[in-house]
A and B are shown apart, each in its own frame.
Chain A
């Protein structure tokens, strides 16, 4: 079973690293093959609210960059795990940009 772990942990602390390691280990024990993606290192672009994913290229972001490719990988996974630091009650910026939920901005139209 495929799992993709998308890490948007921005603070780089030892606690965050421990959580990430523990999660990957536990997923491995459950029979998943986790693929780790570091969203902070990728620096995805912002959603520009152009609705290209609705009108121009339905189902995919019209901006051809790494974030768009990540959306395709997520569709093939059995489990998607989003690790995010909480900033002022919201997700950290890298997670906001790429993959918060199945209705994330740069993934698919509703």
Chain B
């Protein structure tokens, strides 16, 4: 069946500079160029009011193809998307003929396979609602796009080609070809470069905000020589070999006092006997 009406749903909870919303815009333009009349809905706005929810249900019922674009949170769909899916669940189950569902999952990690669980959730949703699954695209390194339109990002040419090919197939009523999926999944830059850029960006952000000294040290696998064999390590305690930051330790203990629970500082500041049971 050749679709005539498309609905692009952005499931990103970010208020500004959302990569998911940017991709939604790209999808609308791509589907428009293939002759599908597409509209975009942002879940974070639609779920705020009864009218918005009604528009979302009506949009889903009238669309022939639904593109759901969202980022992963804790390796799965965000809570906002779960709410949106629940909202349309009952409405779409009555629809005949069924619409097609296409998922575009975005991850900030280097590898696209992190999106696997979220793609499976969309598959379960499609089965529960008796929708046709048109496939999915998993896109990694979302931080490179960072809310800008995908067409303007020079590094995202592969992603744009994948979206274009997928829109071609969706507009023709066919299953999305494997080549589109491969183009979208391909890393935009090497892993070492992405890791370097993200780390530098995070540290510069900490320095700009004056919170660099509050960052927590990375845990070290080394065990202090005075720890009893087999003694469990108390959470938050540093081990020998870690870079000790007195300020971070004092901040740790101040946070503990603020929340009203005992949060140990490191064994250097609080004494060896208190850092370990």
- Does A104 sit within 8 A of B, measured CB to CB? yes
C-alpha gap A105/B211 in the complex (Å):
20
Contacting residue for B124 out of A59, A75, A88, A91, CB 8 A: A88
Q: Size band of the A side of the interface?
A: 20 to 34
Which residue of chain B has its CB nearest to the CB of A44? B79
Q: How far is the CA of A35 from the CA of B255 in the complex (A)?
A: 22
Nearest B residue (CB) for A55: B205
Q: A88-B124, A90-B76 are in contact. List 17 more A-B contacts (CB 8 A).
A: A46-B13, A49-B12, A49-B13, A49-B14, A50-B14, A72-B258, A72-B261, A73-B261, A75-B261, A75-B263, A87-B85, A88-B128, A89-B121, A94-B79, A96-B79, A104-B74, A105-B74
Q: Nearest chain-A residue to B89 (Cβ)?
A: A88
Judged by a CB distance under 8 angstroms, whether B215 is at the interface is yes
User: How many chain B residues touch the partner (CB < 8 A)?
Assistant: 40
Within A52-94, the residues touching B (CB, 8 Å) are: 54-60, 72-73, 75-76, 87-94
26 CB < 8 A contacts A-B: A46-B44, A47-B13, A47-B78, A47-B79, A55-B202, A55-B205, A55-B209, A58-B214, A58-B216, A72-B259, A72-B261, A73-B259, A76-B259, A76-B261, A87-B82, A88-B121, A89-B120, A90-B76, A90-B121, A93-B79, A93-B83, A96-B74, A96-B78, A97-B79, A101-B74, A105-B73
Q: Which A residue sits closest to B215, measured CB to CB?
A: A58
Name A60's closest neighbour in chain B (CB-CB).
B255
On whether A55 and B211 interact (CB within 8 A), knowing A88-B85, A88-B121, the answer reads: yes
Is B225 interfacial (CB 8 A cutoff)?
Answer: no
Closest to A95 in B: B79
Report chain B residues within 8 Å CB of A58: 211, 214-216
Q: State how many angstroms separate the Cβ of B113 from the closest Cβ of chain A.
A: 17
- Cβ of A103 < 8 Å from any Cβ of B? yes
Chain A interface main SS type: loop
Contact A75 B121, CB 8 Å, known A46-B13, A93-B83: no
Name the contact of A88 in the complex, choosing from B44, B82, B261, B263 (C-beta under 8 A): B82
The proximity string for B residues 163-206 relative to A, scoring 1 for CB distances below 8 Å and 0 otherwise, is 00000000000000000000000000000000000000010011
Render B1-40 as a binary contact track against A, CB cut-off 8 A, 1 for contact. 0000000000011110000000000000000000000000
A residues near B251, Cβ cutoff 8 Å: 59
B216, A59: Cβ atoms under 8 Å?
Answer: yes
Interface residues of B (CB under 8 A from A): 12-15, 44, 71, 73-74, 76-80, 82-83, 85-86, 117, 120-122, 124-125, 128, 202, 205-206, 209, 211, 214-216, 251, 255, 258-263
- With beta carbons under 8 angstroms apart, the residue of A76, A93, A105, A109 that contacts B86 is A93
Q: How far is the CA of A75 from the CA of B80 in the complex (A)?
A: 25
Query: What is the bound-complex CA distance between A101 and B76, given in angstroms?
Result: 12
Chain A nearest CB from B15 CB (Å) reads 6
- Contact partners of B121 in chain A: CB under 8 A: 88-90
How long is the Cα–Cα vector from A58 to B15 in the complex, in angstroms? 21
| Cβ contacts under 8 Å, A57 to chain B | 211
- Which residues on the B side are within 8 Å of A59 (C-beta)? 214, 216, 251, 255
Q: How far is the CA of A57 from the CA of B216 in the complex (A)?
A: 12
| Residues on B with beta carbons closer than 8 Å to the beta carbon of A54 | 202, 205-206
- Chain A contacts of B122 at CB under 8 A? 88
With A58-B214, A76-B261 known as contacts, the answer to whether A103 contacts B76 (CB < 8 A) is no
- The smallest beta-carbon distance between B115 and chain A, in angstroms, is 13
- Given A49-B13, A49-B73, CB of A92 within 8 Å of CB of B214: no
Name the residue among A47, A58, A76, A88 with the largest chain B CB count within 10 angstroms. Answer: A88
